[in-house]
Amino acid sequence: MAKRTVAPDSELVAGLTRRQLQEIYYYLALARAAEERLEILFRQGHVHGGLYRSLGQEGESVACAYALRPRTDGTGDLIAPLIRNTGAIFVMGGTPLEYFRQYLARGAGPSRGRETNIHFTDFARGIIGPVSPLGTMMEVLAGAMLACRMRGEDRVGMIWCGDGQTSTGAWHEGINFAAVQRCPVVVVIEANRWAFSTPTALQTRAKQFVDKAVGYGIAGERVDGNDVIATYEAARRAVDRARAGEGPTLLEAETYRLRGHAQHDAQDYVPADELEQAQARDPVELFRKRLLAAAWATSAELAAVHGRVAREVEQAAQQAVADPYPEAEEACAGIYTDVEIRPPWTRLEAPDPARA
């Protein structure tokens, strides 16, 4: 067992303390365990829509979000996550219970059963949930951060974009707007090689996504997204630039999607050797080895993390399964703030011809 030669609050690497390094590991483990538990719930028929794993991408998701300033009172930094950002949502204060309730379409879930997977919003904790035409989120985050900048708030917004998203017109309009207005935004490109079944080469002729930063006149950086420390450092630099009023950064995080697009996708279009190589670079495993090798954590400490994660995930899963679905009549509540949408009268009573 490694000897502790430093105080627990000293900075060991990248300005991170032993406690923080282990906290990052906790979020990595939590994201992975929550998704694994959800897979079981999916097979049991509890998940009605698709299930999207972030396997292999937890590293960049957690490391980037960890560079932010999360708060629970609506004054902290903001994120616009994607389906593969379970880890980032947890870093911002999202809980496994919310995650399960949302996926299980429960009435007590964050979108009250209206929306799928991680499509939920919580401004208190700075989470702006996505809609499926993902390019839109680039525009929305740019505008949210424009508002913060107009009011002199030193908040930063971070968005994750898949390589496919960068091909949309909406994404271009959004990042260009953010660049022109010098919005405090960090644009993380999760370069995971695949947009559903379409490889990067059919998405763009750019050699690397970071080259696009030049076209927008913004800072760009490229990092090994499976290297948690390097990704954290790059994200930290981008966040600091944004907070200092220097505008957006495009941060390309190279990673690999180890599963299909969703649970229904057997990813048979992925070359076997490529997948095998990528599996050998599992970011969670790489980080675990590094923590131990550098004596930033002991095996006992990491075992304790896994114990805590298992307890939290199991408790949340059981609670979510026990929760009820929303009442059917709730479907059309809250379409407007002040206009009530009612079902047609034929739904409520038998038509009476004499009334017409």
Partner 1 sequence: MATIAQGTTRTKPDHVRKTERGEAVTFLEAISEGLFEEMERDPRVFILGEDVGVYGGAFKLTRGFSDYFGRERVIDTPISEAGFTGAAAGAAHMGMRPVVEMQFMDFIAPAYDVITNYIATSLWRDAGPMPLVIRGPVGGGSRSGAFHAQNVEMAFFHTPGLKIVYPSNPYDAKGLIKAAIRDDNPVIFEEHKGLYRAPHLRQVLPHEDYIVPLGQARTAREGKDLTIVTYGMMVHKSLEAAATLEKEDGLAVEILDLRSLLPLDEDAIVASVQKTSRVLIVHEDTRTGGIAGEIALRINEKAFAWLDAPILRVTAIDSPIPYAPTLEDYVLPQTADILTAARYLARY
Q: Which of 22, 57, 165, 176 binds partner 1 (CB under 8 A)?
A: 176
182: left (phi over 0), alpha (psi -120 to 50) or beta: left
The answer to whether residue 201 forms part of the interface with partner 1 (CB under 8 A) is no
CB 157 within 8 A of CB 186: yes
236 Cβ contact list (under 8 Å, min separation 6): 14, 15, 67
Site membership for partner 1, residue 214 (CB under 8 A): no
The 23-62 site mask, x for binding partner 1 (CB under 8 A), equals ----------------------------------------
Residue 60, class by beta-carbon neighbours within 10 Å (0-12 exposed, 13-18 middle, 19+ buried)?
Answer: buried
CB atoms within 10 A of CB 111: 18
Per rule CB under 8 A, is residue 187 in the interface with partner 1?
no
CA–chain centroid gap for 351, Å, is 49
| Closest distance to partner 1 from the beta carbon of 143 (Å) | 3
Asked if 132 touches partner 1 (CB under 8 A), the answer is yes
Please tell me whether residue 139 binds partner 1 under the rule CB under 8 A: yes
Q: Which of residues 148-167 bind partner 1 (CB under 8 A)?
A: 148, 150-152
Residue among 296, 177, 172 at smallest CA distance from 228: 296
**147 binds partner 1 per the rule CB under 8 A:** yes
Cβ-based nearer residue to partner 1, 304 or 331: 331
Two tokens, residue 60: 């960049």
Closest CA to 23 of 314, 264, 317, 291: 291
Question: What distance lies between CA 205 and its chain's CA centroid?
Answer: 26
User: How many Cα atoms within 13 Å fall on the side-chain side of residue 189?
Assistant: 28
Q: Does 226 bind partner 1 (CB under 8 A)?
A: no
Region of 54-62, 128-136, 246-254, 287-295 interacting with partner 1 (CB under 8 A): 128-136
Measured from the CB atom, is 114 or 237 closer to partner 1?
Answer: 114
Which of residues 70, 110, 247, 260 is near partner 1 by CB under 8 A? Answer: 110
Q: Judged by CB, which is closer to partner 1: 93, or 143? A: 143
Give me the residues that bind partner 1 (CB under 8 A), please.
110-112, 114-115, 119-121, 123, 128-129, 131-133, 136, 138-148, 150-152, 169-170, 172-174, 176-177, 180-181, 332, 334-339, 341, 356
